[in-house]
Structure 1
Amino acid sequence: MSCLSQWPEPIVRVQCLSESGIKTIPQRYVKQVLDKACFVAAADDGVNIPLIDFKDLDSSDGSIRDRVLESISEACREWGFFQVVGHDVDHGLMAGMQAAWREFFRLLVEDKQEYANSPATYEGYGSRLGVEKGAKLDWSDYFFLHFLPNSLMDPCKWPHLPVSCRELIAKYCEDVANLGEKLTRILLVNLGLKEDRIHEAFGGYEERGVCLRVNFYPKCPQPDLALGLSSHSDPGGLTFLLADPNVAGLQVFHHHKWITVKPLPNAFIINMGDQIQVMSNGIYKSVEHRVMVNSEKERLSMALFYNPGGDVVVKPLEEAISKDKPAMYSPMTFNQYRAFIRTKGLHGKSQVDSLIKSK
Structure 2
Amino acid sequence: MASFPVINMEKLNGEERAATMEMIKDACENWGFFELVKHGISPEFMDTVERLTKEHYRKCMEQRFKEMVASRGVEAVQSEINDLDWESTFFLRHLPISNIAEVPDLEEQYRNVMKEFAAQLEKLAEYLLDLLCENLGIDKGYLKKAFYGSKGPTFGTKVSNYPPCPKPELIKGLRAHTDAGGIILLFQDDKVSGLQLLKDSEWIDVPPMRHSIVINLGDQLEVITNGKYKSVMHRVIAQTDGNRMSVASFYNPGSDAVICPALELVEKENKELYPKFVFEDYMKLYAGLKFQAKEPRFEALKGHAKNN
TM-score normalized with structure 1 length:
0.75
Alpha carbons of structure 1 residues 103 and 112: separation in structure 2 relative to 1, 3 Å: farther
Amino acid aligned to 1:55: E
Aligned residue for 1:295, secondary structure, equals coil
- Tell me, yes or no, if the aligned pair for 1:236 and 1:307 is still in contact at 8 Å: yes
Structure-to-structure mapping, 1:21-36, within 5 angstroms:
none
1:52 aligned onto 2:4: no
Structure 1 residues 111-137: Cα deviation after superposition (integer angstroms, max 9, x where no partner): 979xxxxxxxxxxxxxxxxxxxx9711
Alpha carbons of structure 1 residues 303 and 109: separation in structure 2 relative to 1, 3 Å: closer
1:149 aligned onto 2:86: no
- Tell me, yes or no, if the aligned pair for 1:103 and 1:162 is still in contact at 8 Å: no
Q: Return the alpha-carbon distance in structure 2 between the equivalents of residues 290 and 48 of structure 1.
A: 19
Alpha carbons of structure 1 residues 345 and 71: separation in structure 2 relative to 1, 3 Å: closer
Shift of 1:90: 1.7
Aligned residue for 2:270, secondary structure, equals coil
Q: Who is 2:53 aligned against?
A: 101
Amino acid aligned to 2:39: H
Unaligned runs of 5+ in 1: 1-44, 114-133
Q: Who is 1:203 aligned against?
A: 148
- Tell me, yes or no, if the aligned pair for 1:231 and 1:348 is still in contact at 8 Å: no
Aligned residue for 1:106, secondary structure, equals helix
Amino acid aligned to 2:43: H
Aligned residue for 1:321, secondary structure, equals helix
Q: Return the alpha-carbon distance in structure 1 between the equivalents of residues 112 and 137 of structure 2.
A: 39
Structure-to-structure mapping, 1:261-280, within 5 angstroms:
261-280=206-225
Shift of 1:260: 1.2
Shift >6 Å, 4+ stretches: 110-113
Q: Return the alpha-carbon distance in structure 1 between the equivalents of residues 302 and 284 of structure 2.
A: 20
Alpha carbons of structure 1 residues 355 and 71: separation in structure 2 relative to 1, 3 Å: farther
Alpha carbons of structure 1 residues 330 and 235: separation in structure 2 relative to 1, 3 Å: same
Amino acid aligned to 1:75: A
1:166 aligned onto 2:118: no
Identity of aligned residues (%): 33
Alpha carbons of structure 1 residues 110 and 193: separation in structure 2 relative to 1, 3 Å: closer
Structure 1 residues 196-219: Cα deviation after superposition (integer angstroms, max 9, x where no partner): 110111117941111100111111
Larger mean Cα displacement after TM superposition, 202-211 or 264-273: 202-211
Shift of 1:162: 2.9
Unaligned runs of 5+ in 2: 66-80, 304-308
- Tell me, yes or no, if the aligned pair for 1:330 and 1:357 is still in contact at 8 Å: yes
Q: Return the alpha-carbon distance in structure 2 between the equivalents of residues 323 and 70 of structure 1.
A: 19
Larger mean Cα displacement after TM superposition, 190-199 or 339-348: 339-348
Alpha carbons of structure 1 residues 352 and 264: separation in structure 2 relative to 1, 3 Å: farther
Aligned residue for 2:235, secondary structure, equals strand
Amino acid aligned to 2:189: D
Shift of 1:323: 7.1
**Structural RMSD (CA):** 2.4
Aligned residue for 2:145, secondary structure, equals helix
Shift of 1:341: 3.2
Amino acid aligned to 2:9: F
- Tell me, yes or no, if the aligned pair for 1:233 and 1:289 is still in contact at 8 Å: yes
Alpha carbons of structure 1 residues 355 and 54: separation in structure 2 relative to 1, 3 Å: farther
Structure-to-structure mapping, 1:137-286, within 5 angstroms:
137-150=84-97, 153-203=98-148, 206-286=151-231
Q: Who is 1:312 aligned against?
A: 257
Shift of 1:325: 2.9
Amino acid aligned to 2:84: L
- Tell me, yes or no, if the aligned pair for 2:183 and 2:217 is still in contact at 8 Å: yes
Shift of 1:262: 1.1
TM-score normalized with structure 2 length:
0.87
- Tell me, yes or no, if the aligned pair for 2:285 and 2:297 is still in contact at 8 Å: no
Structure 1 residues 225-255: Cα deviation after superposition (integer angstroms, max 9, x where no partner): 1111111110000011111110110001001
1:136 aligned onto 2:83: yes
Alpha carbons of structure 1 residues 108 and 155: separation in structure 2 relative to 1, 3 Å: closer
